[in-house]
Amino acid sequence: MGELTLIRHNAHRVDVDRHAMLLHVPTTSLFEMDEVGQAVYELFRRAGSADPGMLRAELGDRFGPQALADCVQSLITLDILRDAAAPAVPVTVQRVEDIPLSTIILNVNTGCNLACTYCYKEDLTTPAKGEKMDLPTARAAVDLLIEQAPGRDKINIVFFGGEPLTNMPLIRQVVDYAETRAEEVGKAVDFSLTTNATLLTEELVDWFDAHRFGLTVSMDGPRAMHDMNRRSVGGQGTYDVVASKVRMLLSRYRSRPVGARVTLTAGVTDVLAIHDHLRNDLGFAEVGFGPATSGPIAVFNLTADLMKAVFEDMKTLGRRYVDAAIRGENIGFSNMHQLLTDISQGMKKAVPCGAGLGLLAVDRKGDLHLCHRFVGSNEPTYGNVTTGIDVPKLAAFVEGAQDRSNFGCSTCRIRSICAGGCYHESYARQGDPFAPVYHYCDLLRDWVDFGIEAYTRIMQANPSFFRSHLSPRRPAR
């Protein structure tokens, strides 16, 4: 063995209480280092490189030669240590030859009965002016999904808008058609929908329950915060009607947990109060937060200082999540749930999400978009439900997304968890879906470190929590 060098961007140490945790960045695997591992890693972190003579001189009085050799070999196998003369390893791009869909998002109407001030939808309009998807287009989308999912046991259909409940006749027809087609080909079909809840009725709730819809309600917290931005077309606050509908929904919906999705904007940043109200007062199973940083109206976007404060509040709520998890309880904080899922499962992402690969969105004309956020934008489309997916064009996009070396991502310690961040966030803020979400980068690195701490503490005190509360709720693949 000659001189070895530390590949700093392939390893990241996080100390949690008395545990020295090492994140293997390329795979997101997490290891606890023993005493010899800590000593060897710290020697290389301090010196940068070392040869056998230096290892013996620095550590030979504490550890035997075999223990040192085994540790070094393990780090070489993980590409944390590498021959100092070896060339840099280029980013591996996985070639895309097919698009194995699992999910299709149907934008059933561009119309919405609310006029939320921060909405990112570029094609949004009022219900009267809304452009609705027709049944032939929706059926063709379902057929395309089935055709592109030959190896999957389950397919997923998501209804989106505008407000999707403004086109309920189509949703009912699509569900009937999709259930019939799925049964014909021996697949299960799963439906989900995000709604502002204002148009819910008892009959609708019971129908969704019968078809086991995954339901998410867009709601921004207590009345004062919710009514700041989530208003009717006439400018009136909608909290009272939404809260009333939510109570009705939660009192009779039985098939699946119902979650709330919160958009954090300037003036709506009290994460703790929002979670407490939505979870404990109204009874949502989970609450998830999405900070607005790239909306079309800059006044609603969170500044750097507000973003930092929001993440500190999220960590405070995260500590409550950890305390509850140690007791065997789940307080329903979905951002924390997703973070711990990524860490506990050792997820390695080459791209940030399934957009354009496992998932596509369909507009009213049947054109295919990367995801629902791009519908109505000026970004390219990738085929049509009647003519099929433009595989070469879409493959070129997905392959391009895997190598963001020009943006500095190749040496980031969370690159296999973040993978550059949301395409639409980057597009909306910087005009390039591949440009990393630089305004998030430091905060996301800190958030992942927090997740490693949380994971370690829960694993030490109550490892059964992961089996009871994370594993059963993994998304279908």
Instruction: Enumerate the domain spans of the chain.
Output: 4-83, 103-329+357-374
Listed in sequence order, the DSSP H helices in 253-328 are 271-275, 304-326
* Count of Cβ atoms closer than 10 Å to residue 128 Cβ: 9
Q: For the chain, what is the mean pLDDT?
A: 92
DSSP string, 92-106: P----------EEEE
pLDDT number for residue 361: 98
Query: CB-based contacts of 140: which residues, under 8 Å, 6+ apart?
Result: 366, 385, 386
The pLDDT score that the predictor gives to residue 362 is 98
What are the tens digits of pLDDT across the range 375-406? 988 899 999 999 999 999 999 999 999 998 88
Measured in residues, the chain has a length of: 477
Following CA atoms 194, 197, 202, 206 in sequence, which dihedral angle do they give, to the nearest 10 degrees? Answer: 10
Mean pLDDT across 155-183 = 96
pLDDT class for 473, splitting at 50, 70, 90?
very low
Longest dimension (CA), the chain: 80
Whole-angstrom Cα distance, residue 437 to residue 415? Answer: 12
Cβ within 8 Å of residue 175, ≥6 positions away: 191, 211
Name the pTM for this structure.
0.92
**Which residue, chain included where needed, has tokens 């700093």?**
8
The residues, ordered by sequence, that sit 6+ positions from 303 with a Cβ below 8 Å of its Cβ are 266
Q: Is residue 21's pLDDT more than 90?
A: yes
Instruction: Inform me whether the pLDDT recorded for 469 exceeds 90.
Output: no
Q: If you search the block for the tokens 């000026």, which residue do you land on?
A: 378
Residue 125 has pLDDT above 80, yes or no: no
Question: How confident is residue 429, by pLDDT bands cut at 50, 70 and 90?
Answer: confident
Rounded distance between C-alpha atoms, residue 95 and residue 348, angstroms: 16
User: Percent of the chain having pLDDT more than 70?
Assistant: 95
Range picked from 88-97, 211-220, 289-298, 337-346 for highest mean pLDDT: 211-220
CATH code of the domain occupying 103-329+357-374: 3.20.20.70
- Are 385 and 141 in contact, with CB atoms under 8 Å apart? yes
Q: Label residues 259-284 b or e (16+ Cβ within 10 Å = b).
A: bbbbbbbbebbbbeebbbbbbeebeb
Residue 338: helix, strand or coil by DSSP? helix
pLDDT at 2 over 90: no
pLDDT-derived band at 295, boundaries 50, 70, 90? low
Paired sense of beta strands 29-32 and 19-24, if any? antiparallel
Judged against a pLDDT cut of 90, whether residue 209 lies above it is answered with: yes
Residue with tokens 């939404």, as numbered in its chain? 242
pLDDT higher than threshold 70 for residue 475: no
Residue 472: per-residue pLDDT: 52
The pLDDT of 338-342, averaged and rounded, is 93
245 contacts: CB under 8 Å, gap ≥ 6: 197, 198, 200
**Separation of alpha carbons 6 and 82, rounded Å:** 7
pLDDT band at residue 169 using 50, 70 and 90 as cut-offs? very high
Q: Tokens 């049509």 identify what position?
A: 384
Task: Place 152 in a pLDDT band, splitting at 50, 70 and 90.
Answer: very high
